[in-house]
Amino acid sequence: MLHGVRVLDLEMMARRGVALAAALVALTTQVAPGRAKGWSSPAAGPSSTGAPELLFTFDDGPNEPTTGKILDILAKHHVHAIFFMNGWHFETGAVEKSQHLIDRVVREGHIVANHTQTHAQLCTVKDDAKRAWEVDHSHEILERLARMPVLWFRTPYGSYCNRVVDLLAERHLAHFHWDIDPQEWKNKNGDVTAAYIIKRIQHLQDRAVVLMHDTKAATVVALPQVLDWIEAENARRTANGRMPIRILSGADLAVERTAPGLTAWLREAATTSVDDGLALVANALP
């Protein structure tokens, strides 16, 4: 419970539109630093239920037609994800298509997060101003176009170095790492990608963040296989009296963490919104 608001209520409200997706992000703080490559492990903290838990994340987009197909798959399976986007998509190339996709991502209850402007390897960028621009410029673009706070950040390649740690600390950000990386961008084979992820899930005892790329055709092939397997596996687990695999959403993380300093923003947004769900979340805050 989050001050009387159930996870189910938050997930239901997330599907209502832009304002609610913004509210869910506003409720969610950064992830804590930890071990994997210097970053956190498990990337989103330990399981809150004792059952295996998964959070699906997608990097490098948005991109047509692959992002749209992935959104279709997620909608079919009632899964909400986090999309770590690169700002350059909204300044060059198919700008109108990119805007349509970010609108759809937010409208359907997913979370928009920052993946730098140009997908730069931040640890090799020696110029402080250029390194800061990669984070700040993309942040400004995404927050303006998504019309929601952008609080989560993932550095390309998972780069870890003092330069990046200091850059994020100055902005009160922490890196949102991952636990399962099938590297489908490299092998380009959707079936192999699906088999790798499923094998990792079979042995999962805690919470895991899955990294995929919504720019790759292999992801479009692999994702439905993984989600179909999870549904079948959960049916088997339920029949055998075992706890099912839980797929997390931004609403679930919102229950666990409250972003300091954003309560006022949420209350103000609620007063000008026609969305009853946003008002409900705002009224539940302390």
> Which conformational region is residue 107 in: left (phi greater than 0), alpha (psi within -120 to 50 degrees), or beta?
alpha
What is the 3 state secondary structure string of the chain?
Answer: CECCECHHHHHHHHCCCHHHHHHHHHCCCCCCCCCHHHCCCCCCCCCCCCCCEEEEEEECCCCCCHHHHHHHHHHHCCCCCEEEECHHHHCCCCHHHHHHHHHHHHHCCCEEEECCCCCCCHHHCCCHHHHHHHHHHHHHHHHHHHCCCCCCECCHHHCCCHHHHHHHHHCCCCECCCCECCCHHHHCCHHHHHHHHHHHHHCCCCEEEEEEECCCHHHHHHHHHHHHHHHHHHHHHHHCCCCCCEECCHHHHHHHCCCCCCHHHHHHHHHCCCCHHHHHHHHHCC
Confirm whether 128 is a catalytic residue. Answer: no
Confirm whether 59 is a catalytic residue. Answer: yes
Q: Token pair 């997608």 is at which residue?
A: 58
Report residue 48 CA to chain centroid gap. 18
Residue from 115, 179, 213, 252 carrying the catalytic annotation: 213
Active site residues: 59, 213
